Amino acid sequence: MATAARLGTRIDVSLLMGCVVLSLVAVALPAEDREPIASALRRSVVAPLVGLQRGAERWRTAWATSEARQAAADSVALRAVNAQALQLENDQLRKILGLGSRLQWGFVPAEALHSTAPSEDIVTTMTLSAGSTAGIQPQSAVVAPEGLVGKVYKADPTMSLVILYTNPDFRASAMTADGSAFGIVYPHAARASGAEAYMLELRDVPTRVQLKPGTPIYTSGLGGTFPRGITIGNVVQEVKTSEVWTRTYLMRPAVTPSRVTSVLVLTAQRVTQGTGNVWGAAVNADSAARKIAAAGDSLAKQAALLEAQARAAALDSVKRATIDSVRRSLGAAPMPMTAADSAAIKRGAAPGTSGVPGQTAPVVRDTGAAVRRPTTPARPDSIKKPR
């Protein structure tokens, strides 16, 4: 073992000495002879060492600049996250400003601060940055640009506590856009996770009414808490229950409370006088459609009545002409034209009608017992002169 170690040491020393001698010889050589030898050595014997040196230099440079690159990447990622958050916040603020401009009055703007207990998995309450000093009162409706959020439960001078529609104590009277179905909105009994945790139920809908999936549901204005026409959500499907005289429908709400950052609190005057055409565009549009349909039905009925009157006038005219023809054939005078017939002719109606829709003038007929022939003057040549 010691012999092998000594032999290895001698070989290393010999190689070192040989390299030193070669180096001295290479240094002593002229420049025109030294460069080809150095190039050959770099391409052959020293090539692995040159590659290791270059790799070490690259690693050293990368290590020295890694912290700066990581800091720059973190800064860019943070700016992107902040920019996205600012964009979302700006979008919500624009929507709130648009809602406020449409309402114009009767509301108090406030910032929403969510509060969730550790045992809860969904948001059921919300704290607002405005209170009774700003005009907020308990039981005031809280809305977002998309629709209904909840109602104020407690109002302090500077802050307010809101219960959302996910709270077990929440109730709201609701209806369809055309007002054909009414019911009460409750939080969904079967709690789930994610977006399904915020589902609602529309209960106490009459059995005779069957709602289709996608039907929008609005507040009805009954109860004095929520004005008529605020969007609540859309019908998903019917829920089978043990009730016989009513139906229950599962609803998807229009607002996700966890994403709400700014809200408007409606005042009592706004609840009393309504919100106008803000969320209830579908309600008003449906009402306008019903008025248009009623007007169309009225016009159709009036046209049918006029057609029936024209047909009756035509029949009466034919009847009158027939009677006059028969009277002339019998040598009787035609039926005299009454004052009503004259007035009807002046109004453009047929004789025998009053010219007023739905009314017919009575026809005055000759009721004489004997038919008298009209007397005609005698011809002059037929009169015999006295002799």
Could you read off the pLDDT of 161-202 as tens digits, one per residue? 999 998 888 999 999 988 889 999 999 876 666 557 788 999
Identity of the residue numbered 271: V
Q: Say whether both 132 and 151 belong to one domain.
A: yes
Q: Say whether both 155 and 271 belong to one domain.
A: yes
Split into its structural domains, the chain has a count of: 3
Could you read off the pLDDT of 53-109 as tens digits, one per residue? 888 888 888 888 888 888 888 888 888 888 877 887 788 788 888 888 888 888 999
Q: Containing domain of residue 46, as a range?
A: 39-103
Lowest mean pLDDT among 131-135, 225-229, 286-290: 286-290
What pLDDT shows up at residue 122? Answer: 75
Q: Say whether both 85 and 193 belong to one domain.
A: no
pLDDT interval class at 121 (50, 70, 90)? low
Instruction: Give the Cα separation of 387 and 384 in Å (integer).
Output: 9
Smallest CA-to-CA distance from 338 within 309, 306, 362, 308 is with 362
Q: Say whether both 241 and 328 belong to one domain.
A: no
The average confidence (pLDDT) of the chain is 77
Q: What are phi and psi of 370, to 5 degrees?
A: -110, 145
Let me know if residue 383 belongs to a domain: no
Q: What are phi and psi of 293, to 5 degrees?
A: -65, -40
Identity of the residue numbered 45: V
